[in-house]
Chain A
Amino acid sequence: MAAKAKKAFQYLLMSALSAVFIFPILWAVASSLKTETNIVAFPPQLVPSPFTLESYNTVLAKYPYAGWMVNSIVIAVMSTLFVLVIASLAAYAFARLEFPMKKPLFSLITAMMLIPIQGYMIPLFKMLNALNMRATPELSSLSLILCSGANITSLFILTTFFREVPNSLEEAARIDGCSDFRFFATMVLPLSAAALSSVAILTFISNWNQFLWPSIVLSGNKNLTLPVAIARYFGAAGQDAAFKYGPSLAAACMAILPTLLVFLSLQKYFVEGIAHSGIKG
């Protein structure tokens, strides 16, 4: 009897939790599909009727939303690829090669992990200006990608993984006269596919969600990323007299879609990635 009561409690708790996590999202989706009068109807309408894409059309017509979306995707994808390439190369050296200053260099890098962006954004901003990297919208997007390359968590996760590649493999490869680069590209990388996927999804999502730094760097309003654009045009600061919830919720829902696609297709690696990035904290 006690076991049954416990099961019942567990299922009740699971349902309640799921409702708490999912309701705000579903409510935003439902409201975004209502007519502007029905959004504020009293009592609230749970299911949109009539069903309309009016709010979505408004957003797409009134704002350069498609441009924001494309720019967000380009920046997040390019940043992720950039991090994967340079961090995996460096991680290989830190994990498997001997060179002078290796330990102090690695300690220096991991010590910097605690310094958040606001600890260095002012000089970084000054430097980008001095290099004329904010002269055009395209250059400012490019500078965002370059800055995202200094990703310490990724280097840390990959180094931990590359250390675990068995030494016997390396010895065999060396005897066959395999160069470091070939060993890295044909053995280490494929063996670390899971780690690379974790790093890829963590990097993608953190770049996709990033707000403070892009809001400073990006110039012009057509090539903003979605978080910056949504905060600027649909957040508290944008609530002028003509503010309407429909378009703002439609803009929010469209911005969630890519996150959900990436997350749901790679969620296994995401949870693993969380666990691995937690190794050291």
Chain B
Amino acid sequence: MKRNQGLIAFLFIFPYMLIFFMFRLLPSIGSLLISLTDWKIIGAPNFVGLKNYISLFQDKNFFTALANNFRFLLIVLPVLLFASLFVAIALNGKLKGRNLVRTIAIIPYVIIPAVVGVMWNWIYDANFGILNYLLSQLGVDKVGWLIDKSYALPAVAVVVIWSYLGYNMILYLAGLQGINKELFEASQIDGATKWQQFRYITWPLLRSTTSLLITLTLINVMQVYDQVVVMTGGGPRGATMTLIQYQYIAGFEKRNMGYSATVGVAILAILIVLVGVQKRLFKADEGREG
């Protein structure tokens, strides 16, 4: 059976591997190397050892950006998980029009994030936005959603939630459909309450879906960027500045590529730690993938 498979396989994988090595693997390794230099776009890079990493730990702005990412996470993660699970459970079962709702729900997820930002800028506009108009009908004063330091970050977080809610809901619905209906019937005969059914059947059996959704949310929120650029530009006064924007500014505005690469490596390290911790917390689930 094993004819000249090595050569044939080489021909099949060659184009992909070439692109992968050139545009993904090499630059990823390069990031580590450049982060050890003082490269400034123009001129030759000099080796500076761990200098960039030491600066990073003393950089107040980096920690401000990091804190902002965590603020996003603290708002987005619980709301997304709870809301999508609640909606999925409520809409589980045969319902007319559910497919239509599913289609509508995924639309925010597929639209260009930059465009989503533009649409919400208009809703949030302090003077002419419809949100402030509706609030004014209730007697609430004008809120500068995107220009007030205390509202800007939650306002953008709501947009992030809006983008991902339908996507999460669909994954939970798929998970619910995988649960054997007989489990509910049997537990009902045994006199289990709705809460007990949720606690002992639904929740444990949705564990892998929950784990996946948390991982995806961690990855997405630690990289939130497009909407921020379009909605606030990182303002007001840095209130919504996130890690990626900070990295972009370091590299392409301040032209400090070595430092920018360092920030990139740091973001990746933070992401690996977060996802690692999350996987550990959901370890019971890992046996399945083994």
Task: Name A residues whose Cβ lies closer than 8 Å to a Cβ of B.
Answer: 9-11, 13-14, 17-18, 20-22, 24-25, 27-28, 31, 39-40, 42-44, 85-87, 89-90, 92-94, 97-100, 102, 105, 108-109, 112, 114-116, 118-124, 126-127, 146-147, 149-150, 152, 155, 180, 184, 205, 208-209, 211-212, 216, 226-228, 230-231, 234-237, 245, 248-249, 251-252, 255-256, 259-260, 263-264, 267, 270-271, 274-275, 278, 280-281
B12–A31 CB distance below 8 A: no
A-facing mask of B1-42, CB < 8 A → 1, else 0?
010011011101101110110111111111101100001000
Pull 24 A–B residue pairs with CB atoms less than 8 Å apart, ordered by A.
Answer: A9-B90, A10-B91, A20-B162, A21-B108, A25-B107, A27-B119, A27-B123, A89-B12, A99-B6, A108-B25, A118-B264, A120-B30, A123-B31, A127-B22, A147-B23, A150-B20, A150-B22, A155-B16, A180-B12, A208-B112, A230-B112, A249-B118, A259-B112, A281-B216
User: Chain A interface: which of B60-68, B73-81, B229-237?
Assistant: B229-237
Cβ contacts under 8 Å, A11 to chain B: 95, 97
Residue among A14, A87, A251, A255 with most chain B CB within 10 A:
A14
Cβ contacts under 8 Å, A126 to chain B: 30, 34, 39, 257
Alpha-carbon gap, A180 to B272, bound state (A): 39
Closest to A278 in B: B212
**A139 CB to closest chain B CB, in angstroms?**
15
Cβ contacts under 8 Å, A17 to chain B: 87, 101, 104-105
- Taking A98-B9, A120-B24 as contacts, is the C-beta distance between A235 and B229 under 8 angstroms? yes
B106 at the interface (CB under 8 A from A): yes
B128–A93 CB distance below 8 A: no
**B218 CB to closest chain A CB, in angstroms?**
11
A89–B103 CB distance below 8 A: no
Give the interface residue-count category, chain B. Answer: 35 or more
Cβ contacts under 8 Å, A216 to chain B: 248, 252
Closest to B6 in A: A99
B151 at the interface (CB under 8 A from A): no
Closest to B167 in A: A274
Cβ contacts under 8 Å, B87 to chain A: 13, 17
**B46 CB to closest chain A CB, in angstroms?**
15
**A259 CB to closest chain B CB, in angstroms?**
6
Closest to A100 in B: B6
Cβ contacts under 8 Å, A13 to chain B: 87, 90-91
B9–A93 CB distance below 8 A: yes
Further 10 A-B residue pairs, CB within 8 A, beyond A114-B271, A234-B230: A28-B118, A119-B265, A122-B30, A122-B257, A211-B226, A211-B229, A236-B233, A249-B119, A249-B122, A274-B170
A227–B110 CB distance below 8 A: no
B221 at the interface (CB under 8 A from A): no
User: Of the candidates B9, B28, B100, which one forms a contact with A97 in the assembled complex, judged by CB atoms under 8 Å apart?
Assistant: B9
Cβ contacts under 8 Å, A127 to chain B: 22, 26-27, 30
Closest to A267 in B: B103
Closest to B19 in A: A149
B271–A124 CB distance below 8 A: no
B111 at the interface (CB under 8 A from A): yes
A-facing mask of B214-254, CB < 8 A → 1, else 0?
01100100010110011111010000000010011001100
User: Of the candidates A90, A114, A119, A212, which one forms a contact with B17 in the assembled complex, judged by CB atoms under 8 Å apart?
Assistant: A90
B120 at the interface (CB under 8 A from A): yes
Closest to B95 in A: A10
B122–A31 CB distance below 8 A: yes
Cβ contacts under 8 Å, B215 to chain A: 281
Cβ contacts under 8 Å, A205 to chain B: 110
User: Of the candidates B22, B104, B114, which one forms a contact with A22 in the assembled complex, judged by CB atoms under 8 Å apart?
Assistant: B104
B27–A121 CB distance below 8 A: yes
